[in-house]
Amino acid sequence: MMKKSLQILIVLVFLCGISEAQTNVSGVISTNTTWDLAGSPYIVTADVTVAAYVRLTIAPGVAVKFEDGKQLYVASYGIIRAIGTVTDSITFTSNSNSPHIGSWYQIYALNTCPDSIFFNYCNFRYARIGLNYIANDRSYLKNSNFSNDSVGLETYSATYKFVDSCAFTNNNTGCYNDWTHLRNCTAINNLIGIEAIDGIEENCVIKYNQTGIFINNNATLKNCVIDSNTNFGINKAWYNTGHDSILNCQINHNMIGMNFSNAYVFISGCIFEYDSIGVYFYGTNLGVSCYIHYTQMKYDNIGLQIDNTLDTLMNSVFENDSIGIIFTLQARGRYISCNKICNNFTSDVYTTSFYYDNNMTNNYWCTTDTNLIHSRITGSQSMIVYVSPVDSLQCYQSFTTTVNEISFNPPQISLYPNPTTGTFALSYHLSTPDVVLQLLDISGRVVYKQSISGSIGNEIIDASALISGMYFWQLTSATETWQGKVFVEK
C-alpha cells in the first residue's frame, strides 16, 4: 500500500511539473529556432530579435507571453512563421496576472524579402501594437484575432498585399491600414474599427464601434457592411483632400453614415438606411467634389446633407427619410439628375443655402405637378431650386455597372498631375506591350481614346477639351486591364 501511494505521488509531482513548464526567452536569435509546444509558454523577459537570414518557427498551440513593455522584433531579412490551426491557434499575450490594453509593446515584422512573414490562426492580446507588419510578396496574415490592444494591427504594403479573414475586437484601433488590402475581416466593439490610409477594405463587416472606419487618405471600400457604429460609420479626416471610393456598401444604423469634408469622394451602389444622417459633406474648400451614383438613402432622419460642392448626384433614391436632401451654407449641386426624391416625411428638399441656386431638373418626384413639388421643398427661399422639366419616365432606374469597380493604381502606373487642368503625363511599366488608353465620363461614355505602343514609357495626354469633373482612365492590353480616376479642374 505504501509503495502504491508513493507511485501516485510521483505521478502527481510529474504532472504538476508539466503544467508549470515554461521557457524564458530574450536577446538575439541568431540560428534557426523552433518554439514548440513542449516549451510553451515562452516568456519574453526582455526584447527578442530574430536576426537577418534566421528563421523563427512557432508551432501550433504555443503561447508566447510578454513582460510589460517588451517586444519581438523580426529584423530585415529575418523570417517568422507562426502558423497555427483551427483547433490549435498560437497566442501572443501579456504575462501579467492583470493584463490591460498596452501591457506589452509589439511584434514588429520588418519584411524586406519574399517568403519571410507568415501568421495564420494567431491571437494578439493586450499589446500596444499587436502586430506591426510591413507586408511584401508571398507573405501573408490571415485567420487571426486581435483583441484588447491599443492598436491591433498596424500594416503597411507597397503592393496591396492581402490581410484575409482577421477579426478586430475591443481594441482602441482595430487596424491601421496603409497600402494593404483587407478582405473578409470584421471590426467589432473598437473605438475605431479601421483607420485607412491608401488602403482597400473589401467584404468587411464593421459594427458596434464608436467610429467604424476613419479614412486618413485615398481609401477604397468595396462590398462592406458598416452598421450600428455610435458616432460615424465612415469618417474622413477634415484635413486631408485625398480621393476615396465607397462602392456597393451597406451603411446602416449609424449616427452619421458617412462624414467628410474637403475631399474628393465617389459613392456608388451603396445603401444608407436608418442613419441619423446618411451622408454629410461639409467644409470650406470649394475646389473638392462629391459624386454620388446608384445609391439609396432611405429611412434616415436626413438622407444627404451638403454644405459644400455636390458635383454629381445621379440614379439615386431618397425616400422615406424625414428630410431627403439638405443644402446649407455654400452648398451647390452642379449636376443633379435622374434621381427619385419623394415620400419623405417632412421635406423632400430643405435649403438654407445663401449663395447658390440649385438646378434639380429632370428628377422624379412621384408627381409632375411642379406646385406640389415646390411645396415639398422647404427652408429659406432666398435661393431658387429649379425642378422643371420634371422626369416622368423614372430614369433613376437606368442603373449601369460600367464604372462601379474601380481598382487602385498599380505601382507600375502613375498619372500626374491629378487633379489636372486637362494635360497630364502617363508613366507606365507593364507586363505586356501595346495597350489602349481610354477616358470615360461618369456615365461610362468614352471621351478620349489613344493606342500606346510598348510596355515601358511616358506619354503626354492632351485632354484639354474635357470639361471639369471626374473621369475614369482605363488601360487595356490583350490580357489585362488597369483602371483609376482622374480629376479635371479648370
| pLDDT 10s digits, 150-198 | 999 998 865 557 889 999 999 999 999 887 889 999 999 999 999 987 7
CA dist., res. 203 & res. 218, Å (int): 18
Does 11 have pLDDT greater than 60? no
More confident residue, 331 or 349: 349
The confidence score (pLDDT) of residue 188 equals 97
Q: What is the pLDDT averaged over residues 315-321?
A: 95
Can the peptide bond before residue 389 be classed as cis, meaning omega within 30 degrees of 0? yes
The confidence score (pLDDT) of residue 12 equals 41
Across the chain, mean pLDDT equals 84
pLDDT-based confidence at residue 460 (cuts at 50, 70, 90): confident
Q: What is the pLDDT averaged over residues 4-14?
A: 43
Does 27 have pLDDT greater than 90? yes
The confidence score (pLDDT) of residue 18 equals 44
DSSP string, 97-156: SS--TTSEEEEEEE--SSS-EEEESEEEESEEEEEEEEE-TT-EEES-EEES-SEEEEEE
| pLDDT 10s digits, 203-262 | 999 999 999 999 987 888 999 999 999 999 999 877 666 778 898 999 999 999 999 876
pLDDT-based confidence at residue 288 (cuts at 50, 70, 90): low
- Is the Cβ–Cβ distance between 395 and 363 less than 8 Å? no
CA dist., res. 395 & res. 412, Å (int): 39
pLDDT-based confidence at residue 293 (cuts at 50, 70, 90): confident
CATH code: domain 413-488 is 2.60.40.3080
Does 141 have pLDDT greater than 80? yes
- How many CA atoms lie within 13 Å of 377's alpha carbon, on the beta-carbon side? 22
The confidence score (pLDDT) of residue 138 equals 63
The confidence score (pLDDT) of residue 284 equals 57
Read off the DSSP letter of residue 408: P
461 is written with which cell numbers? 495626354
- Is the Cβ–Cβ distance between 447 and 422 less than 8 Å? no
Of 10-24, 75-89, 140-154, least confident by mean pLDDT is: 10-24
The confidence score (pLDDT) of residue 42 equals 98
The confidence score (pLDDT) of residue 409 equals 40
Q: Residues near 371 by Cβ (< 8 Å), separated by ≥ 6? A: none
pTM attached to this predicted model: 0.79
pLDDT-based confidence at residue 74 (cuts at 50, 70, 90): very high
**Burial status of residue 57 (CB atoms within 10 A of its CB: 0-12, 13-18, 19 or more):** middle
More confident residue, 270 or 381: 270
The confidence score (pLDDT) of residue 400 equals 44
Q: What is the pLDDT averaged over residues 389-409?
A: 61
Does 71 have pLDDT greater than 80? yes
CB atoms within 10 A of CB 389: 11
CA dist., res. 64 & res. 48, Å (int): 12
Of 272-281, 290-299, 413-422, 465-474, the range with the highest mean pLDDT is 272-281
pLDDT-based confidence at residue 458 (cuts at 50, 70, 90): low
Best CA proximity match to 457, nearest among 423, 403, 414: 414
Q: Residues near 73 by Cβ (< 8 Å), separated by ≥ 6? A: 47, 48, 49, 50, 107, 108, 110
The confidence score (pLDDT) of residue 461 equals 80
Backbone angles phi, psi at 349, to 5 degrees: -135, 135
Of 304-313, 339-348, 394-403, 439-448, least confident by mean pLDDT is: 394-403
Does 471 have pLDDT greater than 90? no
The confidence score (pLDDT) of residue 41 equals 98
- Which amino acid is located at 156 in the chain? Y
56 is written with which cell numbers? 523563427
The confidence score (pLDDT) of residue 363 equals 93
CA dist., res. 7 & res. 3, Å (int): 6
- Is the Cβ–Cβ distance between 188 and 167 less than 8 Å? yes
Backbone angles phi, psi at 153, to 5 degrees: -130, 130
| pLDDT 10s digits, 95-129 | 999 999 999 999 998 766 767 889 999 999 999 99
